[in-house]
Structure 1
Amino acid sequence: MFKKILIANRGEIACRIIDTCRRLGVRTVAVYSEADAAARHVRLADEAFCVGPAASSESYLRGERIVEVTQRAGAEAVHPGYGFLSENEDFAQACHDAGVVFIGPPIAAIRAMGAKSAAKRLMDEAGVPLVPGYHGDDQSAELLQTEADRIGYPVIIKASAGGGGKGMRVVRSADAFAEELTSCQREAQASFGNDHVLIEKYLERPRHIEIQIFADHDGHTVSLFERDCSAQRRHQKVVEEAPAPGIDDAQRTRMGEAACNAARAVDYVGAGTVEFIADDSGAFYFMEMNTRLQVEHPVTELITGLDLVEWQLRIAAGEPLPREQSALAIAGHAIEVRLYAEDPARGFLPSIGRLAHFVAPEASAHVRLDSGVEQGDEITPHYDPMIAKLIVWDHDRAAAVERMLTALAGLQIVGVRHNGEFLARLIGHEAFRSGTVDTGLIEREMAALAPANQAVPGVFFQAAALALLADEREDVSTSGSPWALSDGWRLNAAQHRTLTFAAGEQEREIRVTYAADGLHLDGECAVLIALDGARHRLTLGASQQDVSLVGPAAARHVFVAGAQHEIVWRDPLAEAAAVDDPQAELTAPMPGTIVAINHEAGAHVEAGTPILVMEAMKMELTIKAPASGTVVRYDCAVGDQVSEGAELFEFEADGDAPDTSA
């Protein structure tokens, strides 16, 4: 076993590797960017070295700097995690040349599977079933259009060197192909430094099933069974589970054998994932092989009782596979959700900010949280906006579903928008409960999974009102003056007061009565008792409910039964600061880089026309014309870094121009 390894990654995977190394007595070396100087993985590692500025292209993707740090620190091996340099053959070669073990497959295997088009041809030769498509080297737009027409729409364009849902577009008609191809190639070049694409027939309601494999230096290969990763948004996995629902032992064996054959075809060593697309008939087709550990590896760990990072370390150190296929078995069911800082109601737009409040379910034999951040840490615009992975295990799938819903109800996050309630709706959806998820479920059910303008229940406003009244009592409790008391006492009659609160666009008035038996809200006796931390017990009439309250009255976050709303008090003494901005200038929804401007200033466009494209947090955002009109001027250029709220261009809608005919 190694004595010291360097972790060439960040976030939750770096923390996960450190945990295993600590248990095995292996010292760890972290690398970090300037933006990650106070990151959790840096705090946990035994040593840490800065490798560059915030941009990943200047830090985590600078392989030569990481190899240099490895030698300076005296590390024997490098664990690349996933993403960044994990599937980069040049980095693996640089480690080899420096005499450092790359904890991953042989360079030839990375090369063979890294180019998706070449990998598909190789799998075809190995007898692994493939989806009809084009995987050739000719990348001319004309030929790609011809091939798409031949395959038949809908087709999916994929970055050949891609992964993680980046560089992928579904095209449903020939007319849309050219524009989607250009966008896909641009995103592929930005994300992977390679704009090579492949085209495949798009199956309308497929399942995404993958097989976890391991192989050692002696040529022994095993399958650690399958995971279902069908719940996706923008081709990126959101929920994963193991084993896959509806897969019987016969199909499990066939898919496991196909995955092992794929690994043997490239003399694979270490951890790998062979991804298949499957239909209701039981047929499955090879998509790609990820030559690394996957984000969703914890569900495999929980159903097998194994530590896959430990397996990686032992195999990289030259040890044989810890177990043979006959000694591997499935126990129970595990589900993982990816908790992201994003806003599902706004197209999953990433969110940035400080985690002012972060409470997660307590870890146990049934619940696990893998996270690269803690309360007080920042979610920055520089990297993937994942907050954590929440994983649960139980004896069967139905129990695991309920376990996950309970765990999600216990999440509390303030400081960024997040997808916690979206995930709870997804897990509770009839299709997920029944195990009939396909890759298009989220897109079809967005209205139910992220409902717009949802009414906020009255209990949120009532809890905020009681918290405000408690704040007032606390403010005057030390004054000692009877005139400062806020108990509402009157000589001849009860005092009444109206408080106004807002949650987004929704407003609610709460009538407060200071009665002899205490406070009444909207006619009901109300009591709020502090329990521990942010938790309180709210009594309204004959009902009781636990609530959590975080923040001041000006913007108090209220948590009730797994739901969260920001409740703002409309202080009648505060000055109104409403600003009416008649300008039709469109602004950046978040920090990012301008990658394309589609029209010249002065151009007349129709409503919905793409005006410009910006890249932010590893995804492209297209800013479209809000109406038919004219692009008056641009306040940015291609390559510019823009901040959230920055004015991008001025737009004049038809009919808005002043009448100068008089």
Structure 2
Amino acid sequence: MAAASAVSVLLVAAERNRWHRLPSLLLPPRFPGLFRTWVWRQRTMKYTTTTGRNITKVLIANRGEIACRVMRTARKLGVQSVAVYSEADRNSMHVDMADEAYSIGPAPSQQSYLSMEKIIQVAKTSAAQGMRIVRSEQEFQEQLESARREAKKSFNDDAVLIEKFVDTPRHVEVQVFGDHHGNAVYLFERDCSVQRRHQKIIEEAPAPGIKPEVRKKLGEAAVRAAKAVNYVGAGTVEFIMDSKHNFYFMEMNTRLQVEHPVTEMITGTDLVEWQLRIAAGEKIPLSQEEITLQGHAFEARIYAEDPSNNFMPGAGPLVHLSTPRADPSTRIETGVRQGDEVSVHYDPMIAKLVVWAADRQAALTKLRYSLRQYNIIGLHTNIDFLLNLSGHPEFEAGNVHTDFIPQHHKELLLSRKAAAKESLCQAALGLILKEKAMTDAFTLQAHDQFSPFSSSSGRRLNISYTRNMTLKDGKNNVAIAVTYNHDGSYSMQIEDKTFQVLGDLYSEEDCTYLKCSVNGVASKAKLIILENTIYLFSKEGSIEIDIPVPKYLSSVSSEGTQGGPLAPMTGTIEKVFVKAGDKVKAGDSLMVMIAMKMEHTIKAPKDGTIKKVFYREGAQANRHTPLVEFEEEESDKRESE
């Protein structure tokens, strides 16, 4: 950049010196002729801040919650922020928060967020300052090609490295900082072991069960790594740790990680502020001796995904979104608002919930309390799964490792239980009271209190009115006989049991709450009724109860064509392995689909012959649309007749 420029350039997401780690193939030590290979790559960005220059404007080459996080600190420091966005993110939260925003192309990340030329051009214009396990030689080629495809889509680079496989390891990483004056420090470690699909789902700091001497060795090893390459700025040195707390270098990420808030919580620092000050040529704000560890912090990543369906990512609108109240010990790191859409083009993370307390057990209690207050309607989320995980006895004991979720899969993914009859009474009462509120509103508008449409109380002279209701709990219809009592209470009969129910609605912070007593037991729950579903959120958890819709009003469900597979979500067809006339067996690979930074292999649901393939490579398929059509077999014909 020309020396005469009035402002400096800082690419927050730019990589300078880096041990570069890409999606890898993990091989057991016995694999013939292959062991551990480390790839070191140095990258120097042309447009970086010069030492000693004040930063007045910063380009944030990222999106979503992390971009919003950086903007908050930039605003605190009086630094202007510049956002970049793809066509899919035009109306996103990080664009609204920025002082300036520039479009960088279509939705696919390779054509926008991963296009370095476009990022650099915005910097000039604005004058700104994953993994495969291979256990046998036969699996190698297939896993290698799959890893390369995923790497190309995610990072625009299909280079792959090979490393040693450690069975049931812990993933422990150390936050480091270096400055232009040769100083480097560590800010303790984070444990990121609990993962699904090789992606972190919950992080904590410090790592549980780590002795002070091991903690010191980890930190000092990380600092030596940073100093070895004269590292400047925020970085994360990642280690694999075995059951005996031996640790092995895995990679260095030269950026501020998504999980950095837990480090901020236990050290009382603002790492984005440190990053900006160091980029401007200042020294690290604290010496190693001045950095102290206080308390314990957890970060839970809230995703749009369906844990019961192999954590399948989802996309769609956030019809309702309410969160716990932020305070000094509770942080909500998010890049979306109610009404926003979770895009199919990017990672499905909705938010990071970060909590701090004086010790690990207190922090866990606060985490679970806050998760119950994080209420989302419109798509599947992993909130209930996170509640189950954080309450698991082994997790509470700190016995974490990267195979934690597969090992405890049954306990963490409990099958849906039938709602308690008391909960059904709450749902019925909520529906009745909502109907009453609508009737009262009509009365005020109509100015006719004697209108027959202005009464929904069910009161009768000298007799009690009984209303028969039907609610749907999962797939089961539940009949409820509701008797309207003269004192304003209700008697509700479900099967052979009768409940005395009394309650009312009230509003608090733009939300409607149901205050209810069922057989003398009082409770409070957030009540939301959308379309034909009643949602109740309480400290005990959440339930969904449907209001049955007549068949003539219900839409026809989407079904596969002649038993063919459906697209699990909206995405791009990357590979097609079959054509019309091919005979396949159940489990054979038909297609590879790329969606939300993941690769999905579509397999044949049964033996048969392909009649038609509906999509070519490169085409986009919408969720639940048929992908191929099977020839109708004679047995199928007889069954249909």
- TM-score of the superposed pair, with normalisation by structure 1: 0.82
Partner residue, 2:457: 487
Residues 190, 74 of structure 1: alpha-carbon distance in 2 compared, 3 angstrom cutoff = closer
Match of 1:194 among 151, 157, 177: 157
CA–CA separation in structure 2 for the residues paired with 1:244 and 1:580: 46
The equivalent residue for 2:316 is 353
Query: 1:50 is matched with which residue?
Result: 103
Please state if 1:584 is matched with 2:563: yes
Residue equivalent to 1:461 = 424
Q: How does 1:384-403 map to 2 (within 5 A)?
A: 384-403=347-366
Correspondence 1:528 to 2:539: no
The reply to whether residue 543 of structure 1 matches residue 514 of structure 2 is no
In structure 2, distance between residues paired with 1:171 and 1:341:
29
Residues 541-566 of structure 1: per-residue CA shift (max 9 Å, x gap) = 11111111113361232223253333
Match of 2:616 among 620, 629, 637: 637
One-letter identity of the residue aligned with 1:368:
R
2:490 paired with 1:519: yes
- Cα distance between partner residues in 2 of 1:185 and 1:231: 25
Distance 2:231 2:532 in 1: 58
Structure 1 residues 311 and 508, CA gap change in structure 2 (3 angstroms): same
CA contact (8 A) 2:262 2:299 kept: yes
Given that residues 207 and 230 in structure 1 are in contact (C-alpha distance below 8 angstroms), is that contact kept between their aligned partners in structure 2?
yes
Alignment match of 2:233 (pick from 248, 270, 286): 270
Q: How does 1:614-629 map to 2 (within 5 A)?
A: 614-629=593-608
Note if 1:281 corresponds to 2:244. Answer: yes
1:598 aligned residue: 577
1:103 aligns with none
Change (3 A) 1:345 1:655: farther
| Equivalent position amino acid for 1:385 in 2 | P
Report deviation, 1:472: 3.0
Question: 1:418 offset after TM fit, Å?
Answer: 0.8
Q: Secondary structure at the match of 2:562?
A: coil
> Where in structure 2 are the equivalents of 1:67-146 lying within 5 Å?
67-75=120-128, 77=129
Distance 2:421 2:634 in 1: 42
TM-aligned CA distance change 1:378 to 1:623, over 3 Å: same
Q: Deviations over 1:436-466 (max 9, x none)?
A: 1110011222222222343333344323211
Matched, 1:431 2:410: no
- What is the deviation of 1:42? 1.4
SS in 1 for 2:434: helix
Counterpart contact for 2:614–2:627, Cα < 8 Å = yes
**Closer, same or farther in 2 for the Cα pair 1:622/1:509, shift >3 Å?**
farther
Which residue of the partner structure matches residue 134 of structure 1? none
Q: Which amino acid aligns with 1:44?
A: M
Query: In structure 2, what is the equivalent of residue 7 of structure 1?
Result: 60
C-alpha distance in 1 between matches for 2:457 and 2:474 = 30
Q: How far is the alpha carbon of 1:654 from its aligned partner?
A: 6.2
Q: Distance in 2 between matches of 1:577 and 1:38?
A: 31
Return the alpha-carbon distance in structure 2 between the equivalents of residues 284 and 268 of structure 1. 22
Match of 2:85 among 32, 36, 44: 32
- 1:247, distance to aligned residue in structure 2 (A): 0.8
- Identify the residue that residue 407 of structure 1 maps to in structure 2: 370
Q: Does structure 2 conserve the Cα–Cα contact (< 8 Å) formed by 1:468 and 1:553?
A: no
**Residues 365-384 of structure 1 correspond to what in structure 2 (within 5 A)?**
365-384=328-347
1:564 counterpart SS class: strand
- Quote how far apart the aligned CAs of 1:193 are: 2.7
Partner of 2:267: 304
Q: How far off is 1:471 after superposition?
A: 3.2
Instruction: Name which of structure 1's ranges 533-542 and 235-244 shifts more when overlaid on structure 2.
Output: 533-542
Give distance in 1, aligned partners of 2:255 and 2:452.
69
User: Cα offset for 1:301?
Assistant: 0.3
Partner of residue 590 from structure 2, selected from 604, 607, 611: 611
Aligned mates of 2:423, 2:215 — CA distance in 1: 47
**What is the CA–CA distance in structure 2 between the aligned matches of 1:530 and 1:490, rounded to whole Å?**
23
Structure 2: state its 5+ residue gaps: 1-53
Taking the aligned partners of 2:568 and 2:326, their CA distance within structure 1 comes to 36
Inter-CA distance 619–577: structure 2 relative to 1 (3 Å threshold): closer
The question of whether the paired residues in 2 share the 8 Å contact of 1:315 and 1:321 is answered with: yes
- Distance (whole Å) between structure 1 residues aligned to residue 177 and residue 512 of structure 2: 45
Partner of 2:145: 182
1:221-240 equivalences under 5 Å are: 221-240=184-203
Count of residues in correspondence between the two structures: 570
| Structure 1, 259-268 or 633-642: larger mean CA deviation | 259-268
Distance 1:177 1:448 in 2: 33
Q: Distance in 2 between matches of 1:197 and 1:561?
A: 46
Aligned partner (choices 542, 561, 566) of residue 564 of structure 1 = 542
Deviation at residue 330 of structure 1 after TM alignment: 0.3
Task: Give the TM-score, by structure 2 length.
Answer: 0.85
1:243 aligns with 2:212: no
> Against the structure 1 CA distance between its residues 564 and 319, is the aligned structure 2 distance closer, same or farther, given a 3 Å change threshold?
same
Distance of aligned partners of 1:654 and 1:454 in 2 relative to their CA distance in 1, 3 Å threshold: farther
CA distance in 2, matches of 1:298, 1:285: 24
Paired residue type of 1:323: L
Contact 1:410 1:562 in 2 (8 A): no
Contact 2:433 2:505 in 1 (8 A): no
SS in 1 for 2:623: coil
> Could you list the runs of 5+ residues in structure 1 that have no partner in the other structure?
78-165
Matched, 1:256 2:219: yes
- Quote the Cα distance in structure 2 between the aligned partners of 1:418 and 1:475: 30
Q: Aligned partners of 1:488, 1:54: CA distance in 2, in Å?
A: 54
- Letter paired with 2:225: A
1:497 to 456, 460, 467: 467
> CA separation in 1, counterparts of 2:78 and 2:512?
38
Over 3 Å counting, the alpha-carbon distance change for 1:62 and 1:520 in structure 2 is same
Letter matched to residue 513 of structure 2: R
Q: Which residue of 1 aligns with 2:45?
A: none
SS at match of 2:229: coil
Q: Which amino acid aligns with 1:587?
A: L
1-structure distance, mates of 2:295, 2:433: 47
CA offsets per residue over residues 61-119 of structure 1, 9 Å max, x none? 222222222222222x2xxxxxxxxxxxxxxxxxxxxxxxxxxxxxxxxxxxxxxxxxx
- 1:299-327 per-residue CA deviation (whole Å, 9 max, x = no partner) reads 00000001111111111111111111111
Question: Separation in 1 of the partners of 2:558 and 2:386?
Answer: 36
* Aligned AA (1:353): G
- Paired residues of 1:408 and 1:562 also in contact (CA < 8 A): no
Partner of 1:136: none
Determine what percentage of the aligned residue pairs are the same residue.
Answer: 46
Match of 1:534, SS state, is: strand
CA-based RMSD: 2.2
**Is contact 2:470–2:548 with CA below 8 Å preserved after alignment?**
yes
Which of these residues, 54, 61, 70, is aligned with residue 17 of structure 1?
A: 70
